[in-house]
């Protein structure tokens, strides 16, 4: 199979949604106050991280399905396949992979996610989404 114009348009829309969240997270990461102690800010940050990871895996799944790559075994495997297919760099994946576990904790173990973990995640991972977006745009010639 192949990437159609419809696929490309869907990826463009998802990349725009990802970029909105990333720009917000980058602004948040530069704040010096204890925003993570405010429930509203912390929940917003958690949601931005969660949906950003969803964007990466949704985009990855679309590429994998359209190009009939091997079936992934989970969230991390979706991105690992894109590394194997030379869409993404392995170094990027190694830095990004721990957020997959945090995403699962947002869903299954939410009560035990500490405010400091959310702040650390924003500061650690927000800057890893733009290289993903650039690699995908380059690969799909968007």
Q: Residue 126: which of 33, 62, 31 has the closest Cα?
A: 31
Structural domains counted in the chain: 1
List the CATH number of the domain containing 56.
1.20.120.580
Q: Look up the domain containing 128 and give its range.
A: 5-140
pTM here is 0.93
Q: Give the pLDDT confidence of 81-133 residue by residue, as tens digits.
A: 999 999 999 999 999 999 999 999 999 999 999 999 999 999 999 999 999 99
In the block, tokens 């969803």 appear at 54
């Amino acid at each position: 199979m192949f990437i159609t114009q419809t696929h490309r348009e869907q990826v463009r829309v998802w990349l725009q949604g990802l970029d909105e969240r990333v720009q917000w997270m980058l602004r948040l990461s530069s704040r010096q106050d204890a925003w993570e102690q405010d429930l509203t800010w912390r929940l917003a940050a958690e949601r931005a991280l969660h949906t950003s990871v969803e964007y990466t895996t949704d985009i990855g799944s679309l590429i994998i399905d359209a190009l009939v790559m091997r079936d992934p075994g989970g969230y991390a495997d979706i991105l690992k396949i894109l590394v194997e297919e030379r869409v993404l760099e392995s170094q990027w994946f190694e830095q990004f992979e721990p957020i997959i576990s945090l995403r699962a904790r947002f869903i299954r173990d939410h009560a035990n996610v500490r405010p400091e973990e959310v702040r650390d995640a924003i500061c650690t991972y927000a800057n890893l989404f733009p290289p993903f977006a650039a690699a995908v745009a380059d690969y799909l010639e968007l």
